[in-house]
Amino acid sequence: MVRGLRKKIENREILSFDDRDKKVVQITEKDVNNIRIERVWRRAKNIIFDLENDTALIFHLKMTGQLIWEKCEGEGDFCLRNRRGGGHPDSAWLEKLPNKHTRAIFYFDDESVLYFNDIRRFGWIKVIQRSKIKDQNYGPLFNNIGVEPLEGELTPEYLAEMAERFSNRKIKQFIMDQSIIAGVGNIYADESLYVAKIAPMRLAKDIKNSEWLKLIKSIREVLEQGIKYGGSSSENFVDAFGKQGEAHEHLLVYRRTGKKCPNNCGGVIERTVIGGRGTHWCPKCQK
């Protein structure tokens, strides 16, 4: 989502703003009107617009949120073909906007518009001072979020140190702990451990340095593949161009119980439960 929106709204000026839901939208016109967006990025699942006045808009989509960018160019009031954005798909992708689920509207200097929609109203928009940033953490909002998996902070030394703090934590639970690594969910945990050939029920404290290196590499590989194919939650999410994800078509072990191991090792994918989450693995490859 961020990669797609960045191309459309970075360095654009917000001319005006329409607040349609005081519960969801926790900002005012003076926070955004006539202010340029310097940078679009994210921290974990928070979408962040850095503004030129040393503040930042933070969006969280929660369960049903959407950010839909639209620019009408000679197509009248309905311009689905020129929509960009992402979030959980519903009829908003096929309707004229704004609709009854639109919570906020941002109008830009190139006549484009950004809609924040949310059916269940769990999402939110907040503004904070960028001066509160510390090591890329926005104050109290992000204090309990771990390192980004695609950044250099994720190192074998860091993981080994954290593993000592959680001596009885299984590796599957360990890499899914958002206070340790931000962004590795159930699907990608299974896939990463399979690629690294590490059994998901092993204790994190027993992982060797060479295995940490393999695991970091595999986490990055499977996440980049997920991004490349638009995400694996094909029924619940859409990418920056309004398409459903196709990453589920490229998964190796997740939900492949009973099928032959893709490594042709002679093993069969099994399913177990770790930390309350369905876990898929190959007993032959993942010793």
Bridge partners, 270 (sequence order):
281
Helix, strand, coil percent content, the chain, rounded in steps of 5: 30, 30, 45
Q: Which residues contact 276 (CB under 8 A, 6 or more apart)?
A: none
The CATH number given to 156-281 is 1.10.8.50
CATH class of domain segment(s) 2-142:
alpha beta
Domains 2-142 and 156-281 share a fold: no
Domain ranges for the chain, please list them. Answer: 2-142, 156-281
Strands (E), the chain: 13-19, 35-43, 46-51, 55-60, 65-70, 83-87, 102-108, 113-118, 124-129, 133-134, 137-138, 270-274, 277-281
d(CA 270, CA 255): 9
Task: Choose among 40, 51, 21: nearest CA to 86.
Answer: 40
Q: Kindly report the pTM of this predicted structure.
A: 0.77
Task: Choose among 73, 76, 82: nearest CA to 8.
Answer: 82
Give pLDDT, residue 32.
Answer: 95
pLDDT per residue of the chain (287 residues) written in tens, 0 to 9:
888 899 999 999 999 999 999 999 999 999 999 999 999 998 888 899 999 999 999 999 887 888 888 887 765 555 655 666 566 656 555 567 888 899 999 999 999 999 999 988 999 999 988 877 665 566 667 778 999 999 999 999 999 999 999 989 999 999 999 999 998 989 999 999 999 999 999 999 999 999 999 999 999 999 999 888 666 554 545 554 455 555 566 788 999 999 999 999 999 999 999 999 999 999 999 98
Give pLDDT, residue 131.
Answer: 78
